[in-house]
Structure 1
């Protein structure tokens, strides 16, 4: 940017003083013989000041992203060191920084006080940006988190209240019954006073119900809109609705004083909605290091449920695991290993590679993609498949991104086509019977109907024994293999008996709560 000024022309800091003084007096800044850059800035100032309506959320977010790095630009060597002015708004004073900015910082300052003095300067749109700043200043916190479930009829039930301590990588929770779980970044354990037991747990992918930093990051990353004001746990809060790509919208409440998130409410799913509320929260306090120290009582039994140990290097991890893993371009934050297993921890996602010892059996609730010639198990935030002599599990927030670095033959969008025109015998379906069966499963009866392989097994067994099944089934369950499942339709191959292939569909509900119904089969 051009920083040459005409002789007698005010310096950037003097021009800034002039703008502030004039605006504080409700006047119009004097026009100077300005440089091209200054003319552009002055023109921008006049345009912004004429905005009669509130700008879009996208404009505010974009403007803030540009202001923040500009204002952080260090001063030039020749810049004076002080300025005299205080900017006032609604009777309050806003001290300007004592270090004078170069032109980038000066431009940022102009934009900042334009935001403050504009007709829309009090907009709730800025609360999300304020939350970002508050979270950046968050060093630690201690609070009580209440988890409440609400059904479709509006009936509420308090599920649990958990005391939480968080300090950097250190995180501890204590439930109402005294179960204390601690993760200090190197070890994770759970202390059960009732059983007098300490259980050692894996450090990686430690789930947190309502993590302040992560929820703030999501609010900034995903599209969101301001809904309105509420009172949460006695505190004034602003509610925003967040729309994650491909997911259901959920709500986050931001404390209007601290600008920290204090309540999260999920979307209504399966007639249930979960609300997490910090009924108390204190931040940037003095936390005792004893909370995060591993000191099991001498009379407690220690149970090691964590075979994977932290490795100092990849060479050590390879030696301990004894496997040759598929490696990624991205370097993991930590590595863990045990015999025949290696875990790469990327913070928000883990990759576990295990030596294959058994045939691949997908989870009964999973949809199936393709991993080369084999199946790809697809569950929420989880992918699993076999590759060469390894079984690979990817879990977390970036499953597809990291899985693509491990294999180029993954198909994440499975689709099962309609019934073939030839060779398939359609099965007549009574939808009323299917609806009744779905209601029975919803009530907790016959859960096997949620498993397409089990439904196909029952269908084939009844083909063999139409009079009914008594005693041992007339078919080996291992003769069935689920080969396709896109969540709506599924195909099961049968290696023995009178049926070769079974086609199934979720006719009533196309999610993990929907039952499967046989719609056709190929006889042998």
Structure 2
């Protein structure tokens, strides 16, 4: 099996497993392979017949490989799917065999939205936000003007509502918020940016793509335009509806589920597309009489020497910056002890930050993190970032769905690589500043260790618990240490827990966590349990609850 054949086979396997292939975020090197993958995606909605045999995906890859070989044999002649009867026949064969190996429970509207959004350079719209109560009474909460472009820059102005006049801007280099009521301008880092205005087209399409299910439920007119209505069931949380413009294949309206007797509907009352955001909207200026407040001050430096003089150590600089990235900033953060290197991709859609400082405390990973290794040292892997310990502290990184981080200590220093780039690109940045291997546990790797005593599990109960957590209740079930603490405490006090837990949270340590399975060790003398084994049985991502499946007694 040659390289392209193997890549296509792996690509199909990931689609069948309902996982997002890396190629969706980083295009393949081969134009022919990219075209084949595009064809694969287009026909994912075909109904799935029974597979002829287990190795059919590999047979498919061999068929494709043969087509690629024909291209090489033809010399410089350009090969295209639509050139001649033989090529048409090849497409027919590919469509037929893909019919056996691909199936998607989702409609192809997601693919249509993705393709439509690729053509969008910038857009300008007016958004209305309406609140509806249980009695069906509607209240206009806000009207806002939004400008956004494909590089992630935006300008948002509140036209009506309690924040009327507030302006929020991110021009890719700087973010600021103008508050006329306070006569103040707040300055923030441009990345990471926790602010996302509701119904931002790119985010809505991404959410639909990552949803557990999306299905058509009707058709309606919205703002004078014909739309198709879809119900979206996300992997975490309640279902919601989106209205897709039939002409543009882009979201035009969104309605949340009724929660706590309130429902929100967000609508583009008007939207138009263009080449860019007007330059004057993205240019920073302090209005006369306003006060500037920097919420996250950083000292920008122009060289490694300046950074070393300020922070008190010479930072590690990547020797081989991953392809497609350039450095666009070097700073020493507010505590004047942490060096921050910033990188941006050529298409300006991905950003990566490297943080480094002298290690002052023993390394302790976040309790919810996956554990890996960097140069033989324990590494904390958060995807998304849920906690901000160590060098991440104060960096506004936690709670952002698109941000991943890898943090570790090595040779007396603490490092973190953070970004909205794919995990393999973050690993490349790590490899550029360390000599040791980077070990990230595979998603589906099962721990070889088994508990001495298994704990029976009622999946129906766990599914209801997951729904409860999705609704905002019992968030502690997302923390394997907390779940283990409750389990051990009930072993000590089966009649119930009153006051303090009989075992301390600090006496527990996650010794293994691959994102699906975790092992927590309990120290101290006041415990009948030495190890607790947990699994994410209902949902295998950061929104999934942890369930105790076994333990080792003392």
- TM-score where L is the length of structure 1: 0.58
| Deviates most, 409-418 or 486-495 | 409-418
Residues 1:426 and 2:454 aligned together: yes
- 1:404 paired residue number: 428
1:393 lines up with 2:409 in the alignment:
no
Verify: 1:233 aligned to 2:216, yes or no: no
1:279 aligned to 2:269? yes
Give the CA deviation at 1:392: 0.9
Q: Which residue of 1 aligns with 2:406?
A: 384
Say whether residues 1:520 and 2:540 are aligned partners: no
**How big is the shift at 1:456?**
1.0
Greater shift, 450-459 or 158-167, is seen at: 158-167
Over residues 342-384 of structure 1, what are the superposed CA-to-partner deviations in whole Å (9 max), with x where a residue is unaligned?
Answer: 1323131222313244444544554444444414323144132
Q: Which of structures 1 and 2 has the bigger CA Rg?
A: 1
Quick one: which of 168, 173, 179 aligns to 1:192? 179
Unaligned runs of 5+ in 1: 1-55, 62-103, 112-123, 220-226, 243-249
Shift of 1:235: 3.5
Equivalent-residue separation in structure 1 for 2:457 and 2:372 (angstroms): 27
**Paired residue secondary structure (2:191):** coil
Quick one: distance in 1 between partners of 2:406 and 2:131? 31
| Distance 1:301-1:363 versus aligned 2 partners, 3 A rule | farther
Normalising by structure 2, report the TM-score: 0.55
| Aligned equivalent of 2:155, options 150, 172, 192 | 172
CA shift, 1:310, in A, is 4.7
Q: Choose which of 313, 316, 320 in structure 2 pairs with 1:325.
A: 316
Q: CA contact under 8 A between 2:383 and 2:542: conserved in structure 1? A: no
SS of the residue aligned with 1:461? Answer: helix
Query: What does residue 456 of structure 1 align with?
Result: 484
Find out whether 1:143 has 2:150 as its counterpart. no
Q: Which residues of 2 match residues 91-106 of structure 1 at below 5 A? A: none
Q: Contact 2:517–2:535 at 8 Å: present in 1 too?
A: yes
Partner of 1:413: 442
Secondary structure of the residue that 1:332 maps to in structure 2? strand
Residue 352, structure 1, aligned to residue 374, structure 2 = no
Q: Tell whether the 8 Å contact from 2:510 to 2:519 is kept in structure 1 after alignment.
A: yes
1:281-309 superposed Cα distances (whole Å, 9 cap, x missing partner): 24449976553343444554533222235
Report the equivalent of 2:329.
Answer: 335
How far does residue 411 in structure 1 lie from its aligned partner after superposition?
1.1
The match for 1:446 is 474
Structure 1 residues 59 and 187: alpha-carbon distance in aligned structure 2, compared to 1, 3 A threshold = closer
Seen in structure 2, the aligned counterparts of structure 1 residues 494 and 195 have a Cα distance that, compared at 3 Å, is farther
Structure-1 residue corresponding to 2:11: none
Report deviation, 1:401: 1.8
Give the 3-state SS of the residue equivalent to 1:394 in structure 2. strand
**1:352 alignment partner, SS class:** strand
User: CA 1:314–1:472 in structure 2 vs 1: closer, same or farther (change >3 Å)?
Assistant: same
* Structure 1 pair 411–163 and aligned structure 2 pair: CA distance change class (3 A): same
Matches of 1:391 and 1:200, distance apart in 2: 26
Partner of 2:60: none
Give me the whole-angstrom Cα distance separating, in 1, the residues matched to 2:450 and 2:41. 54
* Secondary structure of the structure 1 residue equivalent to 2:476: helix
Q: How does 1:72-111 map to 2 (within 5 A)?
A: none
Q: Go from structure 1 to structure 2 and tell me whether the alpha carbon gap of 1:252 and 1:307 turns closer, same or farther (over 3 Å shift).
A: farther
